[in-house]
Amino acid sequence: MKPLLVVNPRSGGGSTARTFGAMRGTIERALGAVEVAMTERPGHGIDLARQGALAGHPLVIAVGGDGTVHEVVNGLMQARSGGYGTKAEGTQLGLIGQGTGGDFRKTLGLEHRLDRYVEAIASGKQRAIDVGKFTGGGKTGHYFVNILSVGMGGLVDRYVSDSSRFFGGKAAYFGASLKALLNARLGNVRCTVTSDGKTEEHLLRSFMIAICNGRFFGGGMKVAPMAEIDDGAFEIVALGATSKLGFAMTSGSIYSGEHIGQAGTVHLRGQKVKLDLMNEDARSAFLLDVDGEPMGSLPLEIEVLPKALTLRA
């Protein structure tokens, strides 16, 4: 059966809709004939990927941004865990980046060029990767493949989704980040981490806490430079600054990963995480960012599913 392309025509500020016709020729020269399904609404990629896996497509390729990858991953995981039997277990994930942030492909080390994406897929190289699963934020049994964060990142997501992408992804994230900084609230979060069977509780005071499978989020912030997507564990990073001025002054270090060594930054590691917000006054601003998508607030329960998907890259 042909590979299935789940294409978000609105990705890249709408450029994918304009250029996909030309892209398809390059893709089919490398991969052979493909089947194409265009997303028509938020969440549609989940349905298309799930249906594609259940139909027996050996490869489902997300063509879009991090949000499209997120939806395709959820569709593939639903097909595997929804009581449909083992039919969908062999479906692999592919990626052709076309979006605003491109954070997941940065973790993979993929150059942002169409020929590089299709070469990686056509090579046949396979990598079993971990997937995060969480309950909370209005979701039951939802999945993520890159990073889940709480706090300022969720505000940034909300503002990016409401902003114009006319000036490009970096401008959208920069403007949203400034607005989020003005409206952010410091969260007092009880974080319960289980690592190799041992459970510890931590009280974290932070504007942003990230549960990381991948390394980058927020349009290139290297929040977890030590993260590996196939090691069976999350890297948990709570940014240390507890004032808005301090956060603004140190935020540049997040892009280089140097924040990890700064005073106050907390780094934990584990396979399961529970997060509870202790100060209700912060709830309206202490929001979820899940693979770049806004998704409710705390509490959350999160676990890693080791090597749950096979990536062609």
Note the pLDDT tens digit of each residue in 216-267.
988 888 999 999 999 999 999 999 878 888 888 887 899 899 999 888 899 9
Q: Tens of pLDDT along 122-133?
A: 998 999 999 999
Q: What is the mean pLDDT of residues 60-65?
A: 97
CATH code, 139-307: 2.60.200.40
Find out whether the peptide bond into 299 is cis, omega within 30 degrees of 0.
yes
Residue type, 14: G
The whole-number pLDDT of residue 87 equals: 65
Chain position carrying tokens 């450029």 = 15
Q: Tens of pLDDT along 178-205?
A: 888 888 899 999 999 999 999 999 999 9
Per-residue pLDDT band at 270 (split at 50, 70, 90): very high
Among residues 38, 34, 30, 29, the alpha carbon closest in space to that of 7 is found at 38
What tokens appear for 150 in the block? 């709480």
Residues of the chain with CATH 2.60.200.40: 139-307
What pTM, to 2 d.p., does this model score?
0.92
Residues of the chain with CATH 3.40.50.10330: 4-124
CATH 3.90.1150.10 matches 4-124? no
Structure-model confidence comparison of residues 212 and 162, the more confident one: 212
What tokens appear for 157 in the block? 């997501």
Q: What is the mean pLDDT of residues 108-126?
A: 94
The count of other CB atoms within 10 Å of the CB of residue 40 is 12
The whole-number pLDDT of residue 238 equals: 96
